[in-house]
Amino acid sequence: MVRGEKLGDAIRYVQIENLRQDLYLYIDNNTEKIDVNLPVFFAHIVSALDNGFPDLDDATYDEFIDSIAYRVMTNSSQKNLTQYTERIITTAIRSKRSSGKASLRILGGLQLLSSGHFQDAIVYFSDYWKHDARIGFLIAYCYYSISKSRTGEESAETSRQKQRTELAAREQLQEMVRVAPPLYRLKPLDLSDDEAVDNAFWFMIKMSHWWFPNEKWFIRIGLEKAKKDNNEAKQVELLNISTVKFFNDLDFLRESFNYRLEHGDGVGANGIVKQMIQQYPESLEPIYYGLKLSLIATGKTSYSQYRSMAMDKEMPVYLIQILDWTFYVLKNQENESNMQFKELLRRFKSLSYYFIPLDYIVQDIFSAEEEESRQARMLFIDSIDMYAKKVLKAHS
């Protein structure tokens, strides 16, 4: 590419990723050469970026440098030396467009944790945990690991020091509950695919249940991470804990219901609905979930039972009739669906702004090709679901 020529975003992304992977391969195979020539190596990186991508924005440029620096950290034969980690950080900072070194210090902390330099890792992580809860759990893990380290015969002072570091781990977790930092806010953490780092997070989630069994925040943050990572095993584990330990918490019950429904567990989802109704007998939200389950999974008998409950609890009539229309649509009963739609328009003219566009989707469900029909069906279900939750003021 001629210098100064601009690339389309998609093409540029592919080419940057190709360059990154080529450099990763070079790093993996030339660690010793890089170790003794760090400034020269990073100068080549800067040259490749400046010449190949002259219009690259500062954030993407610096993130690229971070990723290369972390790859060097994790592959070097000197990766267990704190001084070498600091040398990489210092060299990489000179190559970045910004002067900020937070991202590199976080990455250095990850490497130090993985190599067992827990005290140094704590220093590198600093207060960044306030911006991303993952770092807070890693700091707690470092304190806990220090408290459990074995150094032969221990003096009374050493024993007290270990007790203090375990207490520091607990205090770190307590402070996180107080501050409630977000998750997945700091991108440098996403560069790590180190199993030791991931295991450290989940270990401290487990310890949090042991130390603070009545604190819901740890389960909430664990569920958020499990969903983000598509870690079904952890998601199921935490949902099982939450629905037993906090059996009357509607947020956890919603999570469990949605998970079971998404994974085709109609029996389990129905059990959660019954648990919701038992805990919240005056709420229409659990009854709606029963209706939703019947529409998607169970069938007419179940729908009729929950519909009767909805009538008894005075669910808005127009919402019940919309769900009746939905029942006929999803059960592929086109004639009944058409009659129900006409009745909706007649009785609830003020809602025609919603019904009429929705009917175009229904027409695709009945008349389009199989794939188009499937997509229209999903769109129809999502629309009805969002509308019903809005009417009932239910959380998504």
Residue 100 CB partners (closer than 8 Å, separation 6+): none
182 in Cβ contact with 134 (< 8 Å): no
- Dihedral class, residue 85 (left if φ above 0, else alpha if ψ from -120 to 50, else beta): alpha
Segment 218-241 shows an average pLDDT of 95
Task: Report the distance separating Cα 380 and Cα 291, nearest Å.
Answer: 15
The pLDDT tens digits of the residues spanning 5-40 come to: 455 678 888 999 999 999 999 999 999 999 989 999
Segment 334-340 shows an average pLDDT of 94
Angle at 293 between CA 288 and CA 294, to 5 degrees: 95
| pLDDT score of 1 | 42
53 in Cβ contact with 4 (< 8 Å): no
The number of C-alpha atoms within 13 Å of 170 and in the hemisphere containing its C-beta is 12
Segment 357-366 shows an average pLDDT of 93
Task: Report the distance separating Cα 5 and Cα 161, nearest Å.
Answer: 60
The pLDDT tens digits of the residues spanning 275-332 come to: 999 999 999 999 999 999 999 886 789 999 999 999 999 999 999 999 999 999 999 9
| pLDDT score of 370 | 87
The pLDDT tens digits of the residues spanning 93-119 come to: 999 998 788 999 999 999 999 999 999
pTM: 0.86
User: If you search the block for the tokens 């020269």, which residue do you land on?
Assistant: 40
pLDDT-based confidence at residue 50 (cuts at 50, 70, 90): very high
The tokens for 238 are 């935490």
The pLDDT tens digits of the residues spanning 171-228 come to: 999 999 999 999 999 999 998 888 999 999 999 999 999 999 999 999 999 999 999 9
